[in-house]
């Protein structure tokens, strides 16, 4: 089970690194478009390469942290997984969004809305009539 959690955290770290690399590439393109000389274009490229290298280093550090968390769980300790360094260690029961790398709630838990369901006022058959509808009668 811990290896699955480690893999999920690694996927999140990889996704986060990919987003950072993409942002660096887009920023480089914008800076090249607004550059007034060849030197500014070279500086933009250099900044992009530095940001991409930094994102890769952070991803590798997250991988190492997640492997250490799995090993800690194997010997009876509490495992913590992260999507990258600088983030708070997250207890093992937490899942990650692969798109954002942000810790989420454990899978299978539905906190609910705590209130009544909202009704669509444009659907006929319920509540106040607004003059709008689908043309049919829904009951």
Domain boundaries of the chain, sorted by first residue: 2-91
The whole-number pLDDT of residue 125 equals: 53
Q: How far apart are the C-alpha atoms of 97 and 105, rounded to whole Å? A: 10
> Do 122 and 136 form a contact (C-beta atoms < 8 A)?
no
108 — pLDDT class (breaks 50, 70, 90): very low
Assess whether pLDDT exceeds 50 at residue 107: no
- Confirm if 119 and 110 have CB atoms less than 8 A apart: no
Mind listing the pLDDT tens digit for each residue in 47-81? Answer: 999 999 999 999 999 999 988 888 887 777 776 67
Per-range mean pLDDT, top range of 10-19, 68-77, 107-116, 129-138: 10-19
Q: Which tops the pLDDT comparison, 135 or 103? A: 135
């Amino acid at each position: 089970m811990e290896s699955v959690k480690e893999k999920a955290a690694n996927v999140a770290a990889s996704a986060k690194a990919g987003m950072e690399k993409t942002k660096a590439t887009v920023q480089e393109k914008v800076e090249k478009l607004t550059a007034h000389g060849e030197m500014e274009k070279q500086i933009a490229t250099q900044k992009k390469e530095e940001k991409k290298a930094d994102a890769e280093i952070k991803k590798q550090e997250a991988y190492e942290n997640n492997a250490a968390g799995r090993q800690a769980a194997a010997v009876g300790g509490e495992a913590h997984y992260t999507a990258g360094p600088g983030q708070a260690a997250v207890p093992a029961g937490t899942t990650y969004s692969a798109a954002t790398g942000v810790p989420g709630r454990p899978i299978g838990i539905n906190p609910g809305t705590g209130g009544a369901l909202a009704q669509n006022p444009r659907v006929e058959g319920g509540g106040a009539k607004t003059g709008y509808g689908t043309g049919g009668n829904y009951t």
